[in-house]
Amino acid sequence: EAGVAQSPRYKIIEKRQSVAFWCNPISGHATLYWYQQILGQGPKLLIQFQNNGVVDDSQLPKDRFSAERLKGVDSTLKIQPAKLEDSAVYLCASSLGALGRPNTEAFFGQGTRLTVV
């Protein structure tokens, strides 16, 4: 079974530039998550999709971050414009259904390490 695919693996940009990350979840997984993990901290949920609808984006800085999952499969996360404090690993995860259902767990991608200089 193919895992969660993310690209790029690494990205270095200057502050005020724009950047986009891509995620392809495991086939058939309806729920998709984007997390931000700052160095030395645990991941923090940015946005959760159920199919192509947003379930929770309460912690997404909407003035600069946006995400979409138009066809309910792939997803992109964009930052525009980037700030120095956006330097982090951006993790995508997917699950078959909503977490909390029996035997439902999240599967994580390799992450995209963003450095803003």
**What is the binding site for other proteins (CB under 8 A)?**
9, 37, 40-45, 48, 56, 89, 91, 93, 98-100, 105-113
Cβ distance to other proteins smaller for residue 20 or 81: 20
DSSP 8-state class, residue 27: T
Classify strands 10-13 and 112-116 as parallel, antiparallel or unpaired: parallel
| 16/38 with CB nearer other proteins | 38
Give least dist CB 80 to other proteins, A: 22
Count CB-CB contacts under 10 A for residue 99: 13
Q: How far is C-alpha 53 from the geometric centre of its chain's CA atoms?
A: 15
Paired residues of 107 in beta bridges: 94
* Residue 73 or 108 having the CB closest to other proteins: 108
